[in-house]
Amino acid sequence: MNIISVVGARPNFMKIAPIYRVLEEKRKNLEVKNDSAKTITFFQPPAIIHKICHTGQHYDDKLSGIFFEELGLPKPDFYLGVGSGSHAEQTARIIIKFEKVLLKQEPDLVIVVGDVNSTIACSLTAVKLGVKVAHVEAGLRSFDRSMPEEINRILTDSISDYLFVTEKSGVDNLKHEGIPDNKIHFVGHVMIDNLVHYLPISENSNVLKRFKLNKNDYILVTLHRPSNVDFRERLEEIINLLNRLSEKKKVILPIHPRTRKNMYEFGLDKKISENIIITDPIGYIDFIKLTKNSQLIITDSGGIQEESTYLGNQCITIRTSTERPVTVEIGTNHLVGDDLKKAEDTALSILSGSKKSGKTPELWDGKAANRIVEILMKDF
């Protein structure tokens, strides 16, 4: 089994890490078996070769390097260094560079995760060279084609050979799009595997102390969607909302580079209340601790809607749609659309004690990567 896993942007690293851990364990077990079979005297190629390709879509240490260190991932075997650019430039640069890697390495399988530009670029490159593709986190749909991620999801799913799905809605979406049943595997969520693995470790983080925060007594905010941060008026309205909330509760905002850049360009940095703690993007372990101990989360991220549902934390999502409906249907996510008045009312009611109770979605049990590797090993 000769596999290349692709990572590119921040949310990819924590999804590949559990797959890496399971494949490493299998590889080591198979090597021990081979060693102890004394009859084998001729050279045996390793049973599992797993290499990691980092496209370099995210390149800042705080969006990339820190995750490799914290998640125990090895240095990537291939680094494409594509950097930022328009969607066309970024996607095209990845395709050109990844094709060279594939031609040289001739893997049996490429694993892609999530919905970022690296996901579609690498899956497209692989299928065109006849290399099988496994898409982890397949089937999610926001039904909003103005989101670049929605296009990446639809295209990647339509060309992948293995579609590993995190929640039941994903299975329905794929069937509806005519994907044959034998390609669809409902396995749970690798990102939750990673959360389960790192939760006990995150207890040792001193992030609350560093930011002088008390448990269950602050609001954690993340914002980076173009629809919220790329337009001056919208970003200003959101900042005004956060300013008002910060009069009632401490707010911490680890700021994404896209949001920071726009905030300065629009001159909104001067409008932010001093009560809001603005900090650079935060590492994975600190971030889990911040999420777990928050009274309320306000976000437009995809993954944080799921992590908060798993942890049972109240989360307000300021987006018009979610591709992760299970977090709203049975989890603790409140999808308020782009109506900031609704966001504020919901936030105030949560701060005064009201809570949506939630359940853990099916198969979010920390074993998704094991299921994925089992399915793949049957075929290779």
CB of 149 to ligand UD1, least distance (A): 5
Instruction: Give the DSSP letter string of 158-224.
Output: HH-SEEEESSHHHHHHHHHTT--GGGEEE---HHHHHHHHHHHHHTT--HHHHTT--TT-EEEEE--
Three-state secondary-structure class, residue 140:
coil
33, 86 Cβ separation under 8 angstroms: no
Q: Is 197 an annotated catalytic residue? A: no
Among 27, 168, 249, 258, binds ligand UD1 (CB under 6 A): 258
Among 5, 10, 140, 245, binds ligand UD1 (CB under 6 A): 10
**Interaction pattern, residues 120-159, with ligand UD1; x per rule: CB under 6 A:** ----------------------------xx----------
Q: Is 58 in the site for ligand UD1 (CB under 6 A)?
A: yes
Which stretch of DSSP H or E encloses residue 250? Answer: strand 250-254
Q: Which stretch binds ligand UD1 (CB under 6 A): 32-40, 110-118, 128-136, 365-373?
A: 110-118
Task: Tell me the sheet residues that pair with 54.
Answer: 7, 79
Among 26, 132, 153, 224, binds ligand UD1 (CB under 6 A): 224
Q: Is 176 in the site for ligand UD1 (CB under 6 A)?
A: no
249, 219 Cβ separation under 8 angstroms: yes
CB of 117 to ligand UD1, least distance (A): 4
Residue tagged active-site, from 185, 189, 224, 256 = 224
- Alpha carbon distance 230, 250 (integer Å): 25
Among 3, 63, 326, 350, binds ligand UD1 (CB under 6 A): 63
CB of 214 to ligand UD1, least distance (A): 28
Among 57, 142, 205, 299, binds ligand UD1 (CB under 6 A): 57
As a residue count, the chain comes to 380
6, 111 Cβ separation under 8 angstroms: yes
CB of 59 to ligand UD1, least distance (A): 4
Which residue's CB is nearer to ligand UD1, number 65 or number 312? Answer: 65
All residues at 6 or more sequence positions from 341 whose CB lies less than 8 Å from its CB, including other chains:
none
Three-state secondary-structure class, residue 132:
strand
Q: Do the strands 109-113 and 2-7 form a parallel or antiparallel pair, or are they unpaired? A: parallel
Q: Is 257 in the site for ligand UD1 (CB under 6 A)?
A: yes
| Residues recognised as catalytic | 224
Residues of this chain that bind ligand UD1 (CB under 6 A): 9-11, 57-60, 63, 84, 115-117, 148-149, 224, 256-258, 261
